[in-house]
Amino acid sequence: MSDLHLEVGQQYSTFSFGVTAPFLLLAGDIGRLLDYDGYLGFLQGLAPRYRKVFLVLGNHEFYGLDHGSGLDAARRLSREPSLADTVVVLNKTRWDDPDSNLTILGCTLWSAISDEARGVVEAKVNDFKKMGAWTARKHNEVHADEVAWLRHQVSLARGRLLLVATHHAPCLEGTSQPGHSDNPWSSAFATDLLAQEGWGGVSVWVFGHTHYSTDFSLPSGIRLVANQRGYVLPCMTDGSRTNKGGHDFDAAMSITMGS
């Protein structure tokens, strides 16, 4: 699941859900690391209930901080004694399951912003207002670094059962509300990586960020999965929101990886 946005109304201690699998994957925008104690408390409530909790950092994790400070806070989380045995922060991280052939690769996957879209993206997207010293240039630099890391890791994981988890989407079509892929600022949300070579061997790619829940497979065989809650005010319920053209958020959703 992703995009819980627990920073809205400080829902860190009130949002709850049942356990339906041994692993939990949180694909970013869970809340803000600026709300460290609340964020920590949420993860502490999850840790005893799962074998592993995987956490991808979304853009909202960095709001109120600069990128470096956000990464420092994430490293601090990973060192918390109450989380250290369970929570895996996926920031250019590879995790191999000791009991199976499963490998999980994860990073934020900041998107690639074109020169033509730079002005409108910086004007429209809150990242450039709510993250200290964050620019389209820095955004693109981190994107290039993460893509290079992912490509290398995918090549090293040949023969493994491979799941990739990112916050930003790895393709434009099918990953957001129909029609949104043509928005001038869509490059802030997704990059057409999967139209390129080099992703053979990936079985499942989980993403968030677009507030659009979906589950479909590409002709290449890669399955794309998103289970995104979006902004829910304390006075609302998850069931009061609908996902036009996609699936509704389902806190009980689980997927099974093939052998």
Give yes or no for residue 241 having a pLDDT over 60: no
Q: What are the structural domain ranges in the chain?
A: 23-238
Phi, psi of 255, deg, nearest 5: -125, 155
Domain 23-238 architecture: 4-Layer Sandwich (3.60)
Give yes or no for residue 236 having a pLDDT over 90: no
Share of the chain above pLDDT 90, in %: 90
pLDDT at 233: 86
Q: Which among 167, 175, 166, 226 has a CA at the least distance from the CA of 199?
A: 166
Give yes or no for residue 244 having a pLDDT over 80: no
- The SS3 call for residue 232 is coil
Side chain identity at 48, as an amino acid letter?
P
Share of the chain above pLDDT 70, in %: 95
- The SS3 call for residue 90 is strand
pLDDT at 237: 60
User: Mean pLDDT throughout 82-104?
Assistant: 98
- pLDDT, tens digit, 9 for 90 and up, residues 9-64: 999 999 999 999 999 999 999 999 999 999 999 999 999 999 999 999 999 999 99
Q: Helices marked H in the chain — which ranges?
A: 36-46, 67-79, 118-124, 127-130, 136-156
Give yes or no for residue 245 having a pLDDT over 60: no
pLDDT at 179: 72
- pLDDT, tens digit, 9 for 90 and up, residues 112-155: 999 999 999 999 999 999 999 999 999 999 999 999 999 999 99
Entry pTM: 0.95
Does 244 or 117 have the greater pLDDT score?
117
Residue 240: pLDDT band (50, 70, 90) is very low
Q: What is the mean pLDDT of the chain?
A: 95
* Tokens matching residue 29: 């925008």
pLDDT at 178: 86
